Amino acid sequence: MKAIAAALAVCASFLAVSVVLAQTQNSVKPPAAAAPKYDPAIYAELQKAPEKARNRANPLQNDADAVAAGAILFEQHCAECHGHSAEGSRKAPSLLVPEVQNATPGTLFWLLTNGVVRKKMPVWSKLPEPRRWQLVRYIKSLGSAAPAAESPAHKP
């Protein structure tokens, strides 16, 4: 009986902490993410995309709303780890670097679908295919928005 009571007490504390921290997190604006250390090896997973997947074209390439919809999806599902401007954080790498921006839409779609589960990137196949393609459109659109200097690879 004591063990059950202890387990319940721990659980209640767990919940209390979660709520308090959620309130704290949300009442304070998140600080600017610390600049992530650039490590090209992080992006090695992109090279593992099979050729067939790499060559897939984005069926929403000409969809006028895809970027706007992708931006909302990014904010809802990706920004927590990759940063609100996809600049990266300690949790996940920048998506503004050439390795990502020069990757084919099919490669990015493949990575979103499969995740990198051993390195904390979840599988996103829970999002239907069209939504993943919308995300790809948005991520690729960041390449034209981001100045070349933002790419750590180009830093001296």
Partner 1 sequence: MAPLHRLVLIGSFFLFVLSIFSPPPALAQENPYIVAYDHYLEEPGNLEIEYFSTLGTQRGGNNFHAFWVEFEYGATAWWTTELYLEGQTTFNDSTVFTGFRWENRLRPLKREHFINPVLYVEYENKNGADKILKEGEGHDVESDFLVSNAQARKEHIHEIELKLILSSTFKGWNFTENTLAAKDLSNSPWEFGYALGASRPFALKASAKRCTLCPQNFVAGVEMYGGLGDRHSFGLHHTSHYLAPALAWNLPSGWTLRISPGFGLNDNSHRFLMRWGVSREITGFGSMVSRLFGGRK
Q: Which residues contact 52 (CB under 8 A, 6 or more apart)?
A: none
Q: Is 28 in the site for partner 1 (CB under 8 A)?
A: no
DSSP structure string for 19-84 = HHHHHHHHHSPPPPPPPPPP-GGGGGGGGGS-HHHHT---TTTT-TTHHHHHHHHHHHHTHHHH-T
Please pick, from the candidates 44, 76, 148, 154, the single residue that binds partner 1 as defined by CB under 8 A. Answer: 76
Q: Is 123 in the site for partner 1 (CB under 8 A)?
A: yes
Q: What share of the chain is helix, strand, coil (3-state, %, to 5)?
A: 60, 0, 40
Comparing CA positions, the residue from 156, 45, 40 lying closest to residue 97 is: 40
Comparing CA positions, the residue from 85, 80, 69, 39 lying closest to residue 130 is: 69
For residue 77, the minimal CB distance to partner 1 (Å) is: 6
Q: Is 22 in the site for partner 1 (CB under 8 A)?
A: yes
For residue 149, the minimal CB distance to partner 1 (Å) is: 25
Q: Is 34 in the site for partner 1 (CB under 8 A)?
A: yes
For residue 156, the minimal CB distance to partner 1 (Å) is: 27
Q: Is 12 in the site for partner 1 (CB under 8 A)?
A: yes
For residue 115, the minimal CB distance to partner 1 (Å) is: 6
* Site of interaction with partner 1 (CB under 8 A): 4-5, 7-9, 11-12, 14-19, 21-27, 31, 34, 60, 65, 68-70, 72-73, 76-77, 80, 90-91, 113-123, 125-131, 134
